[in-house]
Structure 1
Amino acid sequence: MQHQNMNALTNVDNENRVVLNIGGIRHETYKATLKKIPATRLSRLTEQLANYDPVLNEYFFDRHPGVFAQVLNYYRTGKLHYPTDVCGPLFEEELEFWGLDSNQVEPCCWMTYTQHRDTQETLAVLERLDLDTEKPTDEELARKFGFEEDYMRGTVSWWQQIKPQIWSLFDEPYSSNAAKIVGIVSVFFIVISIISFCLKTHPDMRVPVIRNYTVRTANGSQAWVLDKTQTNPHVFFFYIECVCNAWFTFEILVRLISSPNKCQFILSSVNIIDFIATMSFFVDLTLQKFASHLENADILEFFSIIRIMRLFKLTRHSSGLKILIQTFRASAKELTLLVFFLVLGIVIFASLVYYAERIQTNPNNDFISIPLGLWWALVTMTTVGYGDMVPKTYVGMFVGALCALAGVLTIALPVPVIVSNFAMYYSHTQARAKLPKKRRRVLPVEQLRPHHPGPIGAAAHNNNTGTPNRRQPPKMGQFGASIVALCPKNVGLHSNPAFMLCKPEFQPKPATIPIQSITNQQSTETKTILVVPTSIATQPIPPVNNISSSPSKTLIIQSTDKAAIVEAKKGTDDTYFL
């Protein structure tokens, strides 16, 4: 009797157990454990699922076994921990597959888990900075400059051919040796223009103004008078400015004409500065020519100070400057906080030193008002210390010491954050420079795993038919990333048609794909027509005609050498798109 009871308990225990084969690693648990978290994939396991193997009495899922160990522990303990040996996006993808919320990660793992989000944001920023120095392909240039249709047709005009070359020559200084020479010339003129702008204000570089005054004498004669009160820059600087601005004007026009996106080019802050700086020279030249008699014309020269802003054009030639500017943008919150505490400290210590100096009688008191104290507090907190204003009482000196200490602490606190941001951007830039841009992905991630359409709750209904996912035919690559449309009207048995391969928005371009056989695979979600070599066809080969008539079909064509696959879904006008 006792032996029978033990057998009964063993049978009940075996019935409650469930075996999960995840990527070749078997996991055993109880069905009650999987029921702890409802509305998830594991809580709805049934033997009718395509993942169930009745021979081995197990459920097979071709997923990451390491992540699943944490998923299963979450069912057991109710605590979800992040494995440090996997990447964050992979962990999120696995949780999404099993129907779990990533926000349930425990606080002890949250900082490590969210690091990939910061990395993704940093990489997105670096992508926008356009730091790549690798030469793009012809197809990428055609897409960038908007003549991809002509490129696919093979009808590219001479202007479309040289336009990307001109743009690269003037805007991408590392694209070729000629572009490097143009970049060096551009930097040379920028430096010469800035040096000329500064030197022409030096007294030794200026000459007195010579004016023709009418001397009122008895005979009304005229005399040349040397006016030493007003001076002009030497004429040599004028010629330098003419040559430099001629180059800048030529450069702006060429870059504007060859720009792939003229609106983006015009709205660029660096281009706006360059345009205003160049126009200021021509405005100044026009006023000197036609309105030289204007009084107080020197104020117009003040606007020429924007020419110094041409230094920002150097960011095109230095990735370090781009990273530095982006560092300040990323540290905007910390810099704003720094300014706030500086202003707060300046106001407080300016008021304190004003009243501290008034406590004792001091005829040499420099702090006659709080606004003057603001200037003293600013230069003290920033550790500049001009010495033009100093407290002369003991109380004022004590306030000055506190002001200096507060300034050091206030400025030092956000500096590590700024340095950390710069180091982060710089390290990612260096790593990105070593990463090959033209990495060939043999198989997209979407094709590596079978699709599980529909919500988790409908998984039991969507997987009732078909073979287990581990026995599905393999997909071995992607055929022609730029060839994305297939336009056959009828495909018959053992036919070898000329498929139309192109992008959906362009006219088809004929291309022939050899076909040996056609195999049908039926499922409740999609109807797949898989074209494979006869040697690996596992089902009878029925004739397939007018495949474009069914809106739910997906056409998959594999070349006979097993080298590539094209998958296209039905679009408009009876065509199939990737």
Structure 2
Amino acid sequence: MEKYVALASLFFILLSISTFCLETHEVFNTIYNKTENVTVGNVTREEIVYEVVTDGWLTYVEGVCVIWFTIEVMARVVFCPDKAEFFRSALNIIDFVAIVPFYLEVALSGLSSKTAKDILSFLRVVRFVRILRIFKLTRHFVGLRVLGHTLRASTNEFLLLIIFLALGVLIFATMIYYAERIGADPDDPTAAAHTNFKNIPIGFWWAVVTMTTLGYGDMYPETWSGMLVGALCALAGVLTIAMPVPVIVNNFGMYYSLAMAKQKLPKKRNKHIPRAPQPGSPNYCKPDALAMATASPHRLMGNVLGPGMVGSGSMMGTGDCPLAQEEIIEINRAGC
């Protein structure tokens, strides 16, 4: 049953995200011209207002998904033993934030007041939270959980990477600003007519793009000194990013190995306690059979075969109970 619920939840998550993406396509949006009376002071005039309306079937599909998510959240709230821990979970907060705007939109859709329209406009902006439902897949995919654990365990490495990158950006943005002014036109008072690097803050963007080896090409040095700084910036970026990455990769490998090993472990089962042989049973031998049934296998072997016979490889028991060997086998099977 749990497997089918997980599959259904996965289906509705993907359906909701697909609907959210399709709502932004112009094919599924129709522009209507509406005439409204606007009063400014004592003068009332008509204005044409353009309104974009999304196809209704997408709204119905989203409504079905929201109903499923609502039922899922309510069931988890009811059966959760620790309510405080439930509401502190980031994934559960995402569930509530993604669900509530839909119900508010439905409640306010019939109102025509300016306040209601402003609230609806705000809720439509907040609808981007629906895309965060993708993180709910971490409940069903081990790889995403491993990624989350890796990111949490590598916080110090990410912080170190950001610090290194920020220092490089500051240094190379300053260097490229002054390097591009070497050889500028003497008649140019700003010495920036020939380059895009008008100031140091603009150089921050170029430094980030260059150090991460992205290279959009929207800004580039045009002097020999600027090109030299750009080459040094690219090399420094490669080295800066490469240093913390092995630690992050090691963390990922550790958590991934742990997750794979955990999946291979046998599932927990309730340990079976064998029932004591009853009077009249062929295995019933003496009154303390209940104690023998619940005792450890090694203790039973010692009681049945005697101190000198345990582990001797003899197949014939010399104890008081001739059928106790079968009881020992059954207990061993139950304990596996």
TM over 0.5: yes
Q: CA deviation at 1:533?
A: 7.1
Q: CA deviation at 1:290?
A: 3.0
C-alpha distance in 2 between matches for 1:299 and 1:332: 34
Which of 200, 209, 214 is residue 379 of structure 1 equivalent to?
Answer: 209
Q: CA deviation at 1:427?
A: 1.7
Equivalence for 2:63: 242
Which of 159, 163, 187 is residue 10 of structure 2 equivalent to?
Answer: 187
Superposition pairs of residues 365-514 of structure 1, within 5 angstroms: 365-438=195-268
Q: CA deviation at 1:264?
A: 2.1
The letter of the residue matching 2:89 is S
Deviations 1:169-200 (A, max 9, x none): xxxxxxxxx32222222111111111211221
Equivalence for 1:288: 109
Equivalence for 1:300: 123
C-alpha change, 1:535 and 1:311, in structure 2 (3 Å) is: closer
Q: CA deviation at 1:312?
A: 0.7
Q: Structure 2: which 5+ residue stretches go unaligned?
A: 39-45, 185-191, 274-286, 293-301, 308-320, 329-336
1:331 lines up with 2:161 in the alignment: no
The letter of the residue matching 2:244 is P
Q: Structure 1: which 5+ residue stretches go unaligned?
A: 1-177, 216-222, 442-478, 481-495, 498-511, 516-531, 538-559, 564-578
Q: CA deviation at 1:513?
A: 5.2
Superposition pairs of residues 40-79 of structure 1, within 5 angstroms: none
C-alpha change, 1:274 and 1:348, in structure 2 (3 Å) is: same
C-alpha distance in 1 between matches for 2:128 and 2:155: 26
Equivalence for 1:207: 30
Contact 1:324 1:422 in 2 (8 A): yes
Structure (1/2) with the larger helix percentage: 2
C-alpha distance in 1 between matches for 2:145 and 2:112: 41
C-alpha change, 1:352 and 1:186, in structure 2 (3 Å) is: same
C-alpha distance in 1 between matches for 2:134 and 2:110: 28
C-alpha change, 1:214 and 1:263, in structure 2 (3 Å) is: closer
C-alpha change, 1:352 and 1:255, in structure 2 (3 Å) is: same
C-alpha distance in 2 between matches for 1:200 and 1:282: 18
Equivalence for 2:181: 358
C-alpha distance in 2 between matches for 1:330 and 1:214: 59
Which of 133, 136, 142 is residue 310 of structure 1 equivalent to?
Answer: 133
Q: Equivalent pairs: percent with the same residue?
A: 45
Q: CA deviation at 1:351?
A: 0.9
Contact 1:327 1:418 in 2 (8 A): yes
Equivalence for 1:84: none
C-alpha change, 1:287 and 1:375, in structure 2 (3 Å) is: farther
C-alpha distance in 2 between matches for 1:320 and 1:387: 35
C-alpha distance in 1 between matches for 2:55 and 2:86: 36
The letter of the residue matching 1:247 is W
C-alpha distance in 1 between matches for 2:92 and 2:290: 49
C-alpha change, 1:258 and 1:291, in structure 2 (3 Å) is: farther
C-alpha distance in 1 between matches for 2:290 and 2:146: 48
Equivalence for 1:489: none
Equivalence for 2:282: none
C-alpha distance in 1 between matches for 2:63 and 2:212: 41
C-alpha change, 1:535 and 1:237, in structure 2 (3 Å) is: closer
C-alpha change, 1:385 and 1:302, in structure 2 (3 Å) is: same
The letter of the residue matching 1:375 is W
1:259 lines up with 2:80 in the alignment: yes
Q: CA deviation at 1:212?
A: 4.6
Task: Give the secondary structure class of the aligned counterpart of 1:311.
Answer: helix
Task: Give the secondary structure class of the aligned counterpart of 1:358.
Answer: coil
Equivalence for 1:272: 93
C-alpha distance in 2 between matches for 1:314 and 1:292: 39
Q: CA deviation at 1:204?
A: 2.4
Equivalence for 2:144: 321
Which of 217, 229, 233 is residue 54 of structure 2 equivalent to?
Answer: 233
Equivalence for 2:284: none
C-alpha change, 1:255 and 1:407, in structure 2 (3 Å) is: same
Q: CA deviation at 1:386?
A: 1.3
Contact 1:354 1:370 in 2 (8 A): yes
The letter of the residue matching 2:155 is A
C-alpha distance in 1 between matches for 2:97 and 2:67: 14
C-alpha distance in 2 between matches for 1:438 and 1:205: 50
Q: CA deviation at 1:320?
A: 0.9
C-alpha distance in 2 between matches for 1:213 and 1:290: 15
Contact 2:101 2:123 in 1 (8 A): no
The letter of the residue matching 1:408 is V
C-alpha distance in 1 between matches for 2:2 and 2:156: 38
Q: TM-score, normalised by structure 1?
A: 0.43
Task: Give the secondary structure class of the aligned counterpart of 2:110.
Answer: helix
> For this pair of structures, how many residues does the alignment match?
277
C-alpha change, 1:267 and 1:331, in structure 2 (3 Å) is: same
C-alpha distance in 2 between matches for 1:188 and 1:249: 15
C-alpha change, 1:359 and 1:254, in structure 2 (3 Å) is: same
Contact 1:208 1:226 in 2 (8 A): no
Q: TM-score, normalised by structure 2?
A: 0.72
Task: Give the secondary structure class of the aligned counterpart of 1:384.
Answer: coil
Task: Give the secondary structure class of the aligned counterpart of 1:289.
Answer: coil
Contact 1:209 1:226 in 2 (8 A): no
The letter of the residue matching 2:6 is G
Task: Give the secondary structure class of the aligned counterpart of 1:421.
Answer: helix
